[in-house]
């Protein structure tokens, strides 16, 4: 129990902070923050597996998050029959060509000796394939994008339940991680960081500009939800009764029947949004707990010990007969898959997919700050990091505003400096997170909850 004392204290403080937001701002905001904290926690769990267990630096978190989001669109949105009929055949042919290219290159790699001839063959296959794809896909893409561009203009998805997409998101991310890992994992740490960052940028720019896939920067809105809709709740009698019961004392204070009805309507609207967010919170909590149990089991299994051995001394581990390259690739895929799940969860929570919003600042660097602040190599620490940093990220503006008002209270309302500072309050989040990261790295480099190695 004593071992877990600091964890319990840290988590209690965090919960208290969120509850304080609920009391002072509103429960809806508190739950939004809580849900996002949970999503961030899943992302940090993924990044922590890579960095904390294996010492692999992955700055491509943004790319995996975006792929997870793409999975939601491709799985849950209803297919667009018109688009399929005008361009479906061509697009499928292109997919076939790509698969054919991959297999023929694999065949060449396996069966022909390393030589210039082999390189030319591979280059030839790639160039011919790309030209074929350009010829076949070009007109099809134009036709697909012309199908009711204001609403669809893309192929749509499969129309399956949205929860299924969380798994698909993980698989998509794992697939990307396999390719990236094959290409880049041999690089030195800082090169790997830059390479993954840039590959993620490439992925996001493809999602952004291939409109036939997921509408690109035109966004997909109104995605399916695994939770009830607010409008449905507001008209269902059981929910209204529940709210009535919950707030009976407040309602009894009303003077007239019409006033009572007004108050009740307001309460129902508020409660419906809280209810929906609670549903999401429940689902996310289940995911976080499952992942936590699995990762925790893995960390203290023989496999986890091997990973730590590889992290601490690669040469020694490989001298002991461990396949370092294979294990690195495996853990890279595993961590990225978890990040992909988080990406899918986030898009499901928002109900919309906005490729333009995937920026490295928010989806790579902030997540890394979470991992470092929370505690590398410790899953509880990683989750806490997700909570703490996300909380700061969201609440930095109100906190900054409070302090600005405090320190400039003696200045008149129209004072230029004061107005300027108040206008720039949202940017204090960068300052807060940056200084937080620098302080943690300087004075507690192992994070708030450091890695703990249980000795048997």
**Is residue 332 close enough to count as binding another protein by CB under 8 A?**
no
**Is residue 322 close enough to count as binding another protein by CB under 8 A?**
no
Do 276 and 229 contact (CB within 8 A), yes or no?
yes
**Is residue 437 close enough to count as binding another protein by CB under 8 A?**
yes
**Is residue 201 close enough to count as binding another protein by CB under 8 A?**
yes
Q: Which of residues 371-390 bind another protein (CB under 8 A)?
A: 372
* CB closer to another protein, 182 vs 250: 182
Shortest distance (Å) from residue 198 CB to another protein: 4
**Is residue 191 close enough to count as binding another protein by CB under 8 A?**
yes
**What Rg, from alpha-carbon coordinates, does the chain have?**
25
Cα 386 off chain centre by: 11
Separate counts of helices (H) and strands (E) for the chain: 22, 0
Residue 90: phi and psi, rounded to 5, are -60, -45
Report the alpha-carbon distance of residue 104 to residue 298 in Å, rounded.
37
Among 111, 423, 455, 456, the residue binding another protein under the rule CB under 8 A is 423
Among 199, 213, 287, 339, the residue binding another protein under the rule CB under 8 A is 199
Report the alpha-carbon distance of residue 73 to residue 212 in Å, rounded.
12
Binding mask 165-184 for another protein (x = CB under 8 A): ------------------xx
**Is residue 391 close enough to count as binding another protein by CB under 8 A?**
no
* CB closer to another protein, 27 vs 212: 212
* CB closer to another protein, 13 vs 217: 217
Cα 259 off chain centre by: 44
DSSP 362-389: IIIIHHHHHHHHH-TT-HHHHHHHHHHH
Cα 104 off chain centre by: 35
Report the alpha-carbon distance of residue 388 to residue 369 in Å, rounded.
10
**Is residue 441 close enough to count as binding another protein by CB under 8 A?**
yes
**Sign of the four-CA dihedral 381, 382, 387, 390:** positive
Nearest to 333 by CA among 217, 201, 179: 179
**Is residue 289 close enough to count as binding another protein by CB under 8 A?**
no
**Is residue 434 close enough to count as binding another protein by CB under 8 A?**
yes
Report the alpha-carbon distance of residue 376 to residue 374 in Å, rounded.
7
**Is residue 341 close enough to count as binding another protein by CB under 8 A?**
no
Q: What is the token pair recorded at 363?
A: 């989806």
**Is residue 198 close enough to count as binding another protein by CB under 8 A?**
yes
**Is residue 394 close enough to count as binding another protein by CB under 8 A?**
no
**Is residue 197 close enough to count as binding another protein by CB under 8 A?**
yes
Q: Which residues bind another protein (CB under 8 A)?
A: 57, 183-184, 186-187, 189-191, 193-195, 197-199, 201-202, 205-206, 208-209, 361, 365, 368-369, 372, 421, 423-424, 427-431, 433-435, 437-438, 441-442, 445
């Amino acid at each position: 129990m004593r071992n877990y004392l600091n964890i319990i204290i840290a988590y209690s403080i965090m919960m208290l902070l969120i509850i304080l937001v609920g009391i002072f701002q509103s429960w809806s905001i508190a739950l939004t923050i809580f849900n996002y904290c949970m999503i961030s926690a899943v992302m940090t769990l993924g990044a922590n597996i890579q960095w904390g267990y294996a010492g692999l630096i992955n700055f491509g978190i943004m790319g995996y998050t975006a792929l997870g989001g793409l999975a939601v669109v491709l799985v849950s949105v209803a297919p667009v029959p018109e688009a399929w009929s005008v361009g479906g055949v061509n697009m499928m042919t292109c997919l076939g060509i790509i698969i054919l290219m991959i297999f023929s290159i694999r065949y060449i790699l396996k069966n022909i000796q390393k030589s210039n001839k082999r390189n030319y063959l591979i280059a030839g296959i790639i160039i011919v394939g790309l030209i074929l794809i350009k010829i076949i896909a070009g007109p099809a893409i134009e036709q697909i994008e012309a199908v009711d561009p204001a609403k669809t203009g893309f192929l749509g998805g499969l129309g399956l339940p949205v929860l299924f997409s969380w798994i698909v998101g993980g698989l998509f991310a794992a697939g990307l991680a396999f390719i990236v890992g094959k290409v880049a994992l041999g690089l030195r740490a800082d090169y790997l960081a830059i390479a993954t960052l840039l590959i993620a940028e490439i992925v996001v720019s493809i999602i952004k500009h291939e409109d036939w896939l997921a509408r690109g920067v035109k966004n997909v809105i109104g995605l399916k939800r695994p939770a009830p809709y607010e409008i449905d709740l507001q008209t269902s009698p059981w929910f209204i009764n529940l709210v009535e019961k919950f707030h009976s004392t407040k309602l009894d204070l009303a003077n007239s029947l019409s006033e009572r009805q007004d108050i009740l309507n307001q309460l129902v609207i508020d409660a419906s949004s809280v209810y929906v967010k609670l549903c999401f919170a429940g689902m996310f909590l289940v995911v976080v707990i499952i992942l936590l149990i699995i990762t925790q089991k893995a960390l203290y299994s023989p496999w986890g010990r091997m990973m730590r051995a590889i992290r601490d001394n690669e040469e020694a581990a490989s001298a002991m007969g461990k396949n370092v390259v294979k294990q690195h690739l495996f853990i890279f895929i595993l961590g990225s898959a978890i990040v992909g799940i988080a990406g899918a969860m986030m898009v499901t929570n928002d109900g919309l997919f906005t490729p333009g919003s995937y920026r490295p600042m928010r989806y790579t660097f902030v997540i890394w700050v979470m991992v470092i602040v929370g505690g590398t190599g410790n899953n509880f620490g990683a989750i806490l990091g997700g909570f703490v940093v996300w909380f700061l990220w969201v609440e930095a503006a109100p906190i900054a505003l409070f302090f600005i008002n405090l320190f400039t209270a003696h200045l008149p309302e129209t004072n230029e400096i004061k107005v300027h500072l108040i206008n720039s309050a949202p940017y204090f989040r960068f300052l807060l997170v940056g200084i937080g990261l620098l302080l943690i790295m300087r004075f507690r480099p192992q994070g708030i909850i450091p890695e703990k190695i249980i000795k048997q």
